[in-house]
Structure 1
Amino acid sequence: MKVRGFEWVTGWQQRGAILPQRKTAASAGYDLAAAEGAVIPPQAMVMVPTGVKAYMQADEVLMIHIRSSLAVKRQLVLMNSVGVVDADYYNNEDNEGHIFIALWNRGTQPVVIEAGERIAQGIFQKYLTVDGDMAGDGAARQGGFGSTGKA
């Protein structure tokens, strides 16, 4: 039985997508790399594909954080500050659970992201729910990115 991990989105392994890895024994985050190159204009946002998806237990979430080197050296931030990948995003019917990294360029010059460049890190975490929470009794996720806000 699979517990948590990463897989390639269909067709992206052949395109060079890299499965996330921790780089040291004490690293909390798994480095997510750009599966395609991108140019992020000043004061603009680009959705950078990773070519990967994440599976996890129902009471877990994958938190996405910017790599500090991109923030400090290249003036990039995550558009939504911290990304949240829910367990039911995996294999959704809209985009198979493909993780995109929404990068915002706060600088005055374009920033070039190379394919294979590490751009974010994902940290798996357990979360708690409140007494009487009924979310698990509802319908299954129907879409991909941003789909839980459609109701």
Structure 2
Amino acid sequence: MKKNRGFEVVSKYQDQKIMLPRRQTLASAGYDLEAAKDMVVPSIWRLNFVRIFRLLRNGHQLYESDYELADEILRPILIPTGIKAYMPEDEVLILANRSSNTFKRSLSLPNGIGVIDADYYNNEKNEGEIFVQMLNYGIRPIKIHKGDRIAQGIFIKYNKVDNDLPVDRQRCNGFGSTNEKED
């Protein structure tokens, strides 16, 4: 049987009882992705973010060390799923936040959505493991437990423009890959 689209467990999680994503109802568009391990998503308000915010609000001059601190503090937490996705070349897996994450847990995907391209599958860097970016804008740290549903993935077919001329590169990196090597 030809494999068209689906999910697999990445090799480093093979013996860790990772569940493949499933739709939760007959009419669900999204496949729920689960956390592969226990993690804590700290509140941005407890990471010295308030100090930077006060400096900005009060018009104080910021120095390079302030910018570096802010960049470090406001990074999203990457939650591993332990899975990878395969699909035809003209499809993409869109990662979307679960509505309960924002409403009940103060968790958001800082990039709005995640885009998993077909050539991310089995890349050299991380085997194509899918990570979900999370930012906790609530006051309390949020505990994520292995098996918690953290996002949903929706496979979507996309179209190309007439006379499509993509850059002739191969993906060589994993998450957030903009560093491809030229052929």
TM-score range, shorter chain: over 0.9
Contact 2:42 2:136 in 1 (8 A): yes
| Bigger fraction of residues in helix | 2
Does residue 1:90 correspond to 2:121, yes or no? yes
Larger radius of gyration: 2
Aligned residues: 149
Does residue 1:77 correspond to 2:108, yes or no? yes
- Larger displacement relative to structure 2 (4-13 or 117-126): 4-13
Contact 2:96 2:151 in 1 (8 A): yes
2:171 maps to a residue whose letter is R
2: distance between equivalents of 1:121 and 1:106? 20
Match for residue 179 of structure 2? 150
RMSD, aligned α-carbons: 1.2
Q: How does 1:19-58 map to 2 (within 5 A)?
A: 19-43=20-44, 45-58=76-89
Superposed CA deviations along residues 89-140 of structure 1, whole A, max 9, x for unmatched, are 00001100000001000111101101100000000000111122211x6122
Match for residue 9 of structure 1? 10
Identity value in percent? 52
- Offset of residue 150 of structure 1: 2.3
Give the 3-state SS of the residue equivalent to 2:104 in structure 1: helix
2:7 maps to a residue whose letter is F
| Bigger fraction of residues in strand | 1
1: distance between equivalents of 2:140 and 2:154? 30
2:92 maps to a residue whose letter is V
Please identify runs of 4+ aligned residues in structure 1 that moved more than 6 A. Answer: none
2:33 maps to a residue whose letter is L
1: distance between equivalents of 2:37 and 2:107? 17
Give the 3-state SS of the residue equivalent to 1:71 in structure 2: helix
- Offset of residue 23 of structure 1: 1.1
Match for residue 155 of structure 2? 124
Give the 3-state SS of the residue equivalent to 1:11 in structure 2: helix
1: distance between equivalents of 2:38 and 2:101? 15
2: distance between equivalents of 1:128 and 1:122? 19
Structure 1 alignment gaps of length 5 or more: none
2: distance between equivalents of 1:48 and 1:146? 14
